Structure 1
Amino acid sequence: MTYHMVPGAPTPVGPFQHAAEDGGWVFLTGQMPTDPAAPDAPLPDGIEAQATRVMDNLKLVLEGLDLSFADVSMCRVYLTEFKRDFAAFNAVYTRYFEPGKLPARTAIGVTALAVDALVEVDCIARRPDAA
């Protein structure tokens, strides 16, 4: 097992690495809508802005590991306001994937998230050369 901290990616909000890798499978820690350049700054307002920041943070981690969203096979989405934000989140989320090549996904409504975020997303990727 290899553990990764990606330079330039957001500082984790808890005791964990950005990713753990085993046998070509890469398990990315859930990302929050924090700004990697200003981790103590207020979170963006609204689900669209927070979803964009979360997906951009995932992109930073993926790219830091020489991966992309095309390598993602599974995502888990956590929303604090599921009914209100589900459709708006999906509108942002789908922009990060090639049409017709969306990964498997679970979306979960939760009562709260770290740093009072509205959304968190984690994912599993597979190295193309590991197949």
Structure 2
Amino acid sequence: MAQFHQVAEAPTPVGPFCHATESDGWVMLTGQMPTWPNDPDAPLPDGIVAQTERVIENLELVLGGLGLNLSHVLQCRCYLTEFERDFSAFNDVYKSRFPGDRRPARTTIGVTALAVGALVEIDMLAKRP
């Protein structure tokens, strides 16, 4: 039976979807934007480094609300609006959040635009132990 999770501590979704869907211990996290959990209308952080940090922190809020953390993440899909400009700086932040021997599988895609004018969005697939 599928479960559809809304996490009170996580940012308000920017569209009509839940924070995560779960089935048989598999947890699919909706892509997070670099919005602020307590003020969805506040300006986004400035630049790819700050936005990547905020996105990962938002994903950690969703994971934490479900009793999980980044160690449970098996796969990430990452979207960048300025791929060539931001890929290296994005990678620096991303790799700092996962141990070198425990980095999830990942796809990073350049896109033309993201919701709320964001530079980055990340979704995740996690598995309960």
Please tell me the TM-score bracket, short chain as reference: over 0.9
- 5+ residue gaps, structure 2: none
| Aligned length in residues | 128
Segments of structure 1 that go 5 or more residues without pairing to the other structure are: none
**Rounded Cα–Cα distance in structure 2 between residues aligned with 1:73 and 1:116:** 27
Please name the residue that 1:112 is paired with: 113
Q: Distance in 2 between matches of 1:34 and 1:94?
A: 21
Looking at structure 2, the residues matched to 37 and 13 of structure 1 have their Cα atoms a distance apart, in angstroms, of 13
Aligned to 2:26: 25
Shift of 1:99: 2.2
Query: What's the TM-score once normalised by structure 1's chain length?
Result: 0.96
List structure 1 segments (4+ residues) > 6 angstroms apart after TM superposition.
Answer: none
Q: Contact between 1:70 and 1:98, CA under 8 Å: does it hold in 2? A: no
Structural mapping, 1:1-131, within 5 Å: 1-128=2-129
Tell me the secondary structure at the aligned position of residue 28 of structure 1: strand
Aligned residues: CA RMSD:
0.5
- Per-residue deviation, 1:96: 1.5
Provide Cα deviations, 1:3-57, integer angstroms capped at 9, x if missing partner: 0000110000000000000000000000000000111000011000000000000
